[in-house]
Chain A
Amino acid sequence: MQRFQPRFPVLIFRPLLRLALLPLAAGSLLSSCAPTQTEPTPSAGPLDVSRYLAVGDGYTAGFSDGGLTAASQEYSYPALLARQFARINPQAAFTQGLLPAGTGTGYLTLRELNALGIPQTSRVTKGRAVRSAYFVNPTACGGPDTTFLYAQAPSAPLSQNLGVPGLGLTQVGVAGLGNTANQNKTGAFNPYLERLLPLNDNRTYLQTVTDASANASFFTFFMGLGDALPYMLNGGECGAAPSGSLLNLNAKKVLDQLTANGRPGVIALVPSLQNLPFLRLGGKDGIRGQLTQGANPDSIYITSSIGNVVRPIDAGDFVLPAGLARLGRQETVALPGGGTVQARYGLSRRNPVSRRDVLDLNEFSRVNSSLIGLNTELERLATKVYKLPFVKLEDELFFQINTRISVNGVEYSAAPVRGNFYSLDLYSLTPRGNALLANAFLKTINKSYRANIPYVDANTLPTTARPQ
């Protein structure tokens, strides 16, 4: 009633409004006549989703904002999927190796979003769930590297979320990768796997998956990005690009175990690498052109991985975020013949973008061709060998995110921070991003298994897993 305030004929209307009170009162009685709609009963069709096993890398673990925390694990896509499965079967149990509440392995916080929209972050190490001694490798590629041991998860039974940050398909056969005793073996030790296994356990990841799957009724498989990320994040300077044939071989080994005894599941095909924000921002469509201070974008100079030569930037090169932050900065450069000169970083032949700050087209092509080959192999395995559904994450989600989507009125995009999809490290996902990823899996499950599982409402989840 109060909302109705006609400006013009107030005087004439007063008696009318009084008369209207009667219908209003009657109207409230009638409101009980609103038509009802029956909510469909959630169903998994022929699937038994009561014992779900998730296999993957950091994306599966729930890695977000540059770290794994107890909070980010709660929003991993397997945990969100399990929540939906529980709506079908309340007995469905999903236990993942959670870090102690309120702790994690460190994470990034946002200091500010700079004028170009690049998040400026700080690393928070408070509340790190470390145990016993750490190991420092002073000669690690890219500077000294510290390897911690993290709070252990119960290992009997094994975690149903076998997502391990930093794990690549190429490593699934490495014995002792999670053996506590190997803490100081750089490149052959993964502390995230270690904390899921019993102390000093020498099992390979493949064996771990084999053991865990014995008890599983359904699986999801999403691996591959874990192989590409370490190489790309270091500008192709630390280690070799993953071998395509080894990726394919190991994917089959893992899937052979997961699909044993006709176990149903969904196989994910990895999204395109060049659209991950840490590459895209410094790619040809990104913001690097805005950083040349009026000069032609081609006047960015990089140090090529081939022959270590200085050359103008190519459309296929990617300047990494560290390089973008430094690009155009006035610096003092030592000349080969002695003496110094002032030169802007990346805008002068005398001060080119360093090899670590750029993933050049050759490096990119090396890792990209391996991952494209993996996708082809995964699709072949899914359709020809295992006869299982697969989800093309690029088509179903990541490409859409690049061009922006609206989910029930809320926009999600690849934009750092405001896009609400990618977290501050510019490649892992926010809790809401994980919800959309879970929905991509659910869509495939619903379609392929004639299931009717409700989707996750991404808009109700936090925009970040870090403490606010």
Chain B
Amino acid sequence: MTRRLLSAGFLFISSAAAAGGFQNGPQSARLLGLGGAATAYSRDASAIFYNPGILGHLDSLTHLSIGGMGTVRATSFLGADSRRETRQDLSVVPGGYLYLTHPISDRVKVGLSVNTPFSYNTKWPDAWEGRSVVRSASLQTVYVQPTAAFKVNDNFSLGAGFIYASGQLKQERSLGQYDDQRATARFEGRGNGIGYSLGMYGRTGEDLAFGISFRAPVTLKMNSGTATYQNIPALDAALYPASSKFTSQVELPSALAVGLADHMTERLLVTFDFTLTGWGRYDSLNFDTQTGPRVRSKRGYEDAMAFRVGGEYEVSKDLLVRAGVSYDESPVRDEFITPELPDGNRLGGSLGASLRLNRVMLDLGYSLDVVGQRTARVNRTQFQAPSIAGTYRTLVHTLAIGASYSFGSKN
């Protein structure tokens, strides 16, 4: 019932633009519980990634935080022509993170961030009605970011990081123009790219902190992807070579974020984030093949905003509980909704907790995002942009478990 109410409210909001794209959930069990409002949150080592400026303000201990995440995107599709419902096959997107910070001096701190900020893994049933648009598609990325920060004074610090990103892309679709149901086109590529991250963090008095961060876009360059065509009839064997190389580029977006954190009471911290994600550069995904047909697909993403609010309450020295709410605008425009990633504006709620066990903090986080219903209308004469008409409804579950440890702490 609640879900229905939520999505009803969503319909109302989502009329403007499409949401979150293939951004993974907040990259830390603590942040996940906090709804991802991270830009001014200085209690977690994940700050290296979300705002390198915070690193300069961490204490004089060495912090390690590691964890694993799992995201399930459950989408159902109701075909406008067939009037039939299709549910995506279950696919869990695995993720993980590692954050390590170390003080060099009181003013200079260094850190390393390894995480999985962007990914999707879409799997439709093999024989579903849109199989010639997409049968499965996935992207996995890993960001590695060595970072350094400098504390300018007690209230202000700056940080910067270098990003090395690697990723793997897979796509498979059926070639439905042939009678053989096994006729398949498959694309697979790996690539990497570089970028940077900048951030500043400041405090005004004891209660209020703010942060601004910018993460540069990254282009994953895939220089030797493989296009495979299987079970092509003899008549067209020359058109679709069994295997050929392709080059491609996957554009990962930039992010500009501003955040506030306020100690409302001694025990309650509230954080607020606004993020502008530069999805606009993801205009198309093209596979330039050496032989065989070129594959171009228009994405037409638009920059998207996200608002996140989180609260953290200190129950005791050994237990922290969190809750968060987020609203994530989709970068996917109405005319480009495809079954590859039928995204929509998202409204998310999250819960989390940290429990001290001896010297280790155990972190837990869970979020449920309700994705606004999207309706894909298709003009079949626009044959360059194949899609399938129908409505998509999606729920996104994210669960993260992590552990943090501080070397040299007294506890």
Residues of A within 8 A of B (CB): 1, 3-9, 12-13, 15-24, 26-28, 30-31, 33-40, 42, 113, 400, 403-411, 417-418, 420, 439, 452, 454-455, 457, 459, 462-464, 468
Contacts and interface: CB of A to CB of B under 8 A. Distances in A.
B252 interface: no
B76 A36 contact: yes
Contact of A17 (B96, B121, B391): B96
B383 A411 contact: yes
A298 B98 CA distance: 74
B3 interface: yes
A27 B144 contact: no
B78 A16 contact: no
B179 A462 contact: yes
A409 B391 CA distance: 17
Given A37-B391, A410-B177, A454 B81 contact: yes
Interface stretch (B128-136, B257-265, B272-280): B128-136
B399 A23 contact: yes
Interface in B186-219: 190, 192
7 contacts: A6-B166, A7-B166, A9-B114, A22-B399, A37-B76, A408-B133, A463-B178
A341 B403 CA distance: 95
Contacts of A462: 179
Contacts of A7: 166, 190
B173 interface: yes
- Find the residue from B69, B170, B174, B192 having the highest chain A CB count within 10 A: B69
Question: Among B164, B179, B391, which residue has the most Cβ atoms of chain A within 10 A?
Answer: B179
A305 to B, nearest CB: 36
Q: Is the interface of B mostly helix, strand, loop or mixed?
A: strand
B77 to A, nearest CB: 8
Given A19-B401, A406-B385, A417-B235, 9 more contacts: A23-B69, A27-B397, A28-B90, A33-B397, A404-B383, A408-B132, A418-B177, A439-B81, A457-B81
B17 interface: no
Interface in B116-140: 121, 129-134, 138, 140
A39 B83 contact: yes
B132 A459 contact: yes
Nearest to B71: A27
Contacts of A418: 177, 236
Given A15-B66, A19-B66, A409 B381 contact: no
Given A6-B166, A410-B177, A463-B177, A19 B78 contact: no
A20 B94 contact: yes
A31 B398 CA distance: 11
A12 B75 CA distance: 32
A111 to B, nearest CB: 11
B300 interface: no
B138 to A, nearest CB: 6
Contacts of A452: 83
B63 to A, nearest CB: 16
B132 A13 contact: no
Nearest to B178: A463
A34 B132 contact: no
B85 interface: yes
A3 B121 contact: yes
Contacts of A5: 168
A400 to B, nearest CB: 5
Q: Which of B176, B190, B381 has the most CB of A within 10 A?
A: B176
B129 A33 contact: no
Given A40-B83, A405-B381, A410 B94 contact: no
Nearest to B75: A34
B147 interface: no
Interface in B7-27: 7
B72 A31 contact: yes
B179 A42 contact: no
Contacts of B174: 409
B308 interface: no
B52 interface: no
Residue among A1, A4, A13, A42 with the highest chain B CB neighbour number at 10 A: A4
Interface string B368-405: 00000000000011111111100101110101111100
Contacts of A24: 70, 92, 94
A36 B393 CA distance: 8
Nearest to B69: A23
A242 to B, nearest CB: 32
B241 interface: no
A454 B131 CA distance: 19
Contacts of A407: 380
Contact of A19 (B96, B144, B170): B96
Given A9-B114, A23-B68, A37 B166 contact: no
A27 B381 CA distance: 40
A35 B85 CA distance: 11
Contact of A8 (B72, B166, B402): B166
Given A35-B395, A42-B83, A6 B70 contact: no
B393 A35 contact: yes
A35 B383 contact: no
B226 interface: no
Contacts of B129: 408, 457, 459
